[in-house]
Structure formats: structure tokens, C-alpha cells
Amino acid sequence: MDIREITLADMAQEAEKRELMLPIEQTEIWARYQATIPGRTPWGALAASVDGEDVAYAAFFDYETHGYHYLNSIHGPIWVHEPTEEEESELAQALTDYLHKHDRKQVFIRMAVKHDIVESHPVLSTLPYDHTVVIDITGGDDAILSRMKPRGRRDVRKALRESPATCADETEAATKSFEEYYQVMVETGKRDGFAPAPISDYEDMIRDLGPEHCRVYAGRVDGKVATWSIVTISGKRAVRYYGASLNEFMRQHVTDKLVYFECCDLSANKGITSYDMMGIGSEFAPSLMGLNEFKCKFTKETTEVAPSRDIPVRHGFYMLLIKARDVVVSRRRHAEDDAEKKRRAERDAARAQKAVHEEKKQAEEAKEKAEAAKDASEGAGK
């Protein structure tokens, strides 16, 4: 397998000629956006060919972190055909050979690999997934609803009847100020146990991608943002990149109503044919199982995708990174165990103190009853 450098413009032309869908992360607009983020640099694009015929394309970004570099191809490579395990293995080897000659500072490649090839390792960080939910949004509002699972149709219809939320495309307002939307993300993070990115990350994404490639939808109750989504657009595919909602409105199906509104608006007004909900849990990604109840009701089937895996280029260095990661994880677990032991000790001490207090209270009550009974007895004797 041969590797050659191409421009992102040429890659887009080849993809269009072959009717391949390019994820937004494999486009020039995404490269311009990534160039504004410290530690990330558009590295370029490569084409892989066999006997003079292209078989795959990939855009890469140089990520610099903790003093080392690696290449990341988000949702890439884009294969001309469905690859076999042998073809993915051959591409991994060809790319590492290419980097040995052209960019030796790269420690590893992170890219989408469907098969668990011998050249790959589970990613050092992040949470990759191998299944997602892609909603077919063709055919109009009723057709979109008809393709959902029965529970999805029920929840959406209930939301349309009863939810107080008013949904709209609020891209222009969010571009001017994201503060109101960000506070909803902060509350979502506290509820779901994650730390949101700084507000500037969302503001930069919306501004740099522009309204042609990034929309913000929101559902409001009495003028207050109750739920919102940041949606990216590339070709005829939209992706729900981020979403957040307030706790007080969760039982009112405001997000069900918003997602359905997004499907209908993207289809009718943006020319989109499919809407990717961006990742669900599976045996490969069990930590994401909590997403399935909400996302999976919008389609009858899930879609398998190639998860991100690491391909070591400098094997010795990569093994050191694995060991360092394991040490950090071990220390974190010990710290969590110690914190849990402390919480248990404090809880047990509180329970013991409460038990002593209850025993003392019961003894005093018994004493009072005995004295009252004695007084009553003495009074009767008189």
C-alpha cells in the first residue's frame, strides 16, 4: 500500500467524485477551526493507494500534549470501500513507515479502526465508541416520526402535546452571547459528573465554523433556556455535537421535543438527510450505556462505526506512556478508595453518634415514664 500527500481540497474533490461522505472533522473548515486551538495544528492529508487506485483518505491533526506529539484523524480514514482487517492492518503499517521517514516526532497515530488489528492499542485517553444512532430525516415530519421506536414516537407526541418548551434555531443569539446556554451546560455537568469545557471553547466553535456548518438549537420555557444542542453540518449529514438541559424540566420531555424539532428543521430548511446523535454505549464502550435510553428511541436500529484506536509509531515511547497512564490511574483509584474509606468512616461515626443519642433519648423517656407511673401509683394510694 502506497501513501502520498494530498491537499484537503483535493481530498474533498476525490470524496465527491466517489460519493463518499466526509465527516466535518475531515474538512478544510474544521482544519481552520482547529488551527485556533492551542496545541492543535492541521498536519495535512494523506491518500492510500493499491496498484495506483486510491483506497482511503485521511486528514490529520498534530496534537501536542505533555511534551510529546501524536497525529489524530477524527473519524478518518475515509475508505473507498468497506475495509477488511488485513487492509486496515496494511494501512496502519504503511502510515507508520511513512511517518518514520517524514515526521519522526510523532509518537503514535490515533484514527478510526474497525477491526482490533495487532498494530493497534486502546486509546490512552478519551472515550471512543463503536455504535451510534443515525436518524433518517428524509420524507417530512410524519415520516421522521414513523421511523422511531414506539417509545420514541410516544415520548415525542407527549412532548408535542404537553411540553411547555418553545423550540427554535438560536444560532444568531448564541453567536452574540453563549453565557445563558453555558449555565445550562454547567448544571448538566454537575448532574452527570463531568467538567464542561471553558465557555470560550463553545463560543470559538460556533464562530469559527460559522452558521453554514454549525447551528445552535434551544428549547425555552417562559423565556428561559431549558435545553439546547450544538449541531455541526457537513454535506447532507448533521451531528448533535453537544447538548445540555436543566434538571427542573427533564420530566417534561423538553429535549425530546427539541431533537424532533431539529430533525424537522434540518430536513426542511437545511437540506440534511441524516442526523447523527454521536455515540452510544455497547460492550466496547460500557461507560456510555447511560446514553442509550434517550438516544436509541429515535431509531429502530443502531449504526456500527469504527472506533478510535492508537497505532504506535515510536513503540518504546508509547509503552512508557502506557505505564505512566497506569500509574496515574492507580493513584487516582487509591485516592478515590481513600476518600471512600474516609466517607464511610465519617458515616459510621455519625451513625454511632446517632445511635448513642437515640439510646440516651430512649433511656430518658423510659425514666420519665417510670417516674410518671410512680407518681400515678403514689397518688392512687392516697
Residues 215, 83, single domain; the answer is: no
pLDDT score for 382? 56
CA-CA distance, 83 to 99, in Å (whole number)? 22
Q: Find the angle CA(105)-CA(106)-CA(110) to the nearest 5 degrees.
A: 175
143 and 220 belong to one structural domain: yes
| Residue corresponding to grid cell 470501500 | 81
User: Of 248, 273, 303, which one is at a domain's C-terminal end?
Assistant: 303
**Rounded Cα–Cα distance for residues 178 and 183 (Å):** 9
Q: How far apart (Å, rounded) are the C-alpha atoms in residues 223 and 283?
A: 41
Task: Say whether both 172 and 226 belong to one domain.
Answer: yes
* pLDDT value of residue 353: 73
pLDDT along the chain (382 residues), means of 10: 97 96 97 95 98 97 96 97 97 97 97 97 93 97 96 95 95 97 95 92 96 98 96 97 93 94 97 96 94 95 97 96 87 65 69 69 73 67 58
* pLDDT score of 342: 65
State CA 82 to chain mean position distance.
25
The domain total for the chain is: 2
Is 359 inside a domain boundary? Answer: no
- State the CATH number of the domain containing residue 181: 3.40.630.30
Kindly state whether residue 351 falls inside one of the protein's structural domains: no
Same domain, 117 and 232: no
Is the same domain home to 285 and 139?
A: yes
Q: Are residues 182 and 100 in the same domain?
A: no
165 and 20 both lie in a single domain: no
| Partners of residue 121 on adjacent β-strands | 310
Domain end among 259, 277, 303: 303
Give a yes or no: residue 378 inside a domain.
Answer: no
pLDDT score, position 362: 76
**23: phi then psi, degrees, rounded to nearest 5:** -60, 155
Pairwise CA distance, residues 235 & 176, whole Å: 26
Based on the domain organization, do 12 and 90 belong to the same domain?
A: yes
Alpha-carbon distance of 219 to 226, in angstroms, equals 6
Q: Which domain holds residue 215?
A: 131-303
The set of cell numbers assigned to 248 is: 427542573
Whether 346 is covered by a domain: the verdict is no
CA geometry: angle 216, 221, 222, nearest 5 deg:
120
How big is the CA angle at 314 (ends 313 and 317), to the nearest 5 degrees? Answer: 135
Q: Is 217 found in the same domain as 150?
A: yes
CA 128 to mean position of chain CA atoms: 9
- The three-state secondary structure class of 13 is helix
Tell me the sheet residues that pair with 227: 219, 245
Answer whether residue 339 is part of any domain: no
Best CA proximity match to 163, nearest among 217, 226, 240: 226
Examine the domain organization and report whether 75 and 166 are in the same domain: no
In a domain, 151, yes or no: yes
Residue 344: inside a domain: no
Residues 219, 288 within the same domain: yes
Of 80, 79, 12, 81, nearest to 45 by C-alpha is: 12
Q: What is the pLDDT of residue 276?
A: 98
Phi, psi of 173 (to 5 degrees): -65, -40
Helix (H) or strand (E) segment spanning residue 51: none
| 84 belongs to a structural domain | yes
Boundary residue ending a domain (255, 278, 303): 303
One-letter amino acid identity for 89?
S
User: Position 290: which residue type?
Assistant: G
Residues 200 and 270 in one domain: yes
